[in-house]
Chain A
Amino acid sequence: MKRRRVSMRTMFRNLILWVSASAFGAIPQFQLRDTNGVAHTAEEWSGSKAILLFFVTIDCPVTNSYVPEMNRIARDYAPQGVRTYAVQADTSVADTDVEHYVREYRYQFPLLFDPRQILVEFSGATAMPQAALLAPDGRVLYRGRIDNRVEDFGRQRPEATVHDLRAALDAFLAGKPVGVAATKSIGCAIPKFK
Chain B
Amino acid sequence: MKFAPLALVVACGAIAATPTFNQDIAPILYENCANCHRLGEVAPFSLLSYSDAAKRASQIAAVTAKRYMPPWKAEAGYGHFEDERRLSDAQIAMIGEWARNGAAEGDPARKPAPPQFTSGWQSGKPDAVFTVPASFSIPADGRDAFQCFVVPLKFSADKYVKTVEFHPGNTKVVHHALFFLDGSGQARQLDAATPEPGYPCFGGPQIAPEGALGGWAPGATTRPLPTGIVQTVNRGSDLVIQIHYHPSGKPEADQSSIGLTFGDPPTKGLSGMIVGTRKIDLAAGAQQTITDWARVPEDVDLIGITPHAHLLCKEMKVTAKFPDGRIEPLIWIRDWDFNWQGSYRYAEPVRLPKGTRIEMSYVYDNSAGNPHNPSNPPKRVTFGEQTTDEMALLFMQVVLPRADDVPRFRKQFFLGRLEQILLEGGEPAGVTRRAREILRVAGPRFDANHDGKLGPEERTALLRFLAERIKCGVDR
Q: Which residues of A contact B (CB under 8 A)?
A: 59-61, 63-69, 90, 92, 104-106, 148, 151-159, 161, 188-189, 191
Contacts and interface: CB of A to CB of B under 8 A. Distances in A.
A67 B140 contact: yes
Interface string B131-157: 000000000110110000000000000
Contacts of B373: 157
B371 A151 contact: yes
Contacts of A65: 141, 246-249
Given A61-B44, A90-B55, A159 B371 contact: no
A143 B387 CA distance: 33
Contacts of B62: 153, 189
Given A156-B372, A161-B376, A189-B62, A92 B51 contact: yes
B337 interface: yes
A83 to B, nearest CB: 22
B58 interface: yes
B248 A64 contact: yes
A44 B37 CA distance: 41
A75 to B, nearest CB: 14
A191 B56 contact: yes
A153 B247 contact: no
Interface in B385-435: 387
Contacts of A66: 249
Give the 5 A-B residue pairs with the shortest CB-CB distance, closest first.
A64-B249, A191-B55, A153-B68, A68-B141, A67-B249
A42 B242 CA distance: 51
Pick from A104, A159, A189 the residue with the most CB of B within 10 Å: A189
B374 A158 contact: yes
Contacts of B51: 92
Interface string B26-41: 0000000000000000
Contacts of B247: 65
A86 B347 CA distance: 48
Contacts of A104: 250
A154 B337 contact: yes
Contacts of A156: 339, 371-372
Given A158-B143, A159-B143, 8 more contacts: A65-B246, A65-B247, A65-B249, A68-B249, A153-B63, A156-B339, A156-B371, A158-B372
Contacts, number: 69
Interface string B362-381: 00000000011110100000
B223 to A, nearest CB: 26
A4 to B, nearest CB: 13
B450 to A, nearest CB: 54
B55 A92 contact: yes
B66 interface: yes
Contacts of B337: 154
B144 A106 contact: no
A149 to B, nearest CB: 9
A68 B140 contact: yes
Given A188-B56, A188-B59, A155 B44 contact: no
Nearest to A155: B371
B66 A153 contact: yes
Interface in B36-52: 44-45, 51
Contacts of B45: 59
Contacts of A61: 44, 248
Nearest to B71: A154
Nearest to B58: A189
A122 to B, nearest CB: 21
A59 B248 CA distance: 11
A66 B387 CA distance: 22
A38 B89 CA distance: 49
Contacts of B371: 148, 151, 155-157
Nearest to A157: B371
A148 B368 CA distance: 13
Interface in B265-324: 311
Nearest to A93: B55
A153 B371 CA distance: 12
Interface in B43-82: 44-45, 51, 55-56, 58-59, 62-63, 66, 68
Nearest to B335: A154
B44 A60 contact: yes
A105 B373 CA distance: 29
A94 B141 CA distance: 26
Nearest to A68: B141
Nearest to A186: B62
A107 B311 CA distance: 32
A155 B44 CA distance: 18
A148 B387 CA distance: 20
Given A158-B144, A188-B59, A191-B56, A67 B372 contact: no
Contacts of A188: 56, 59
A159 B376 contact: yes
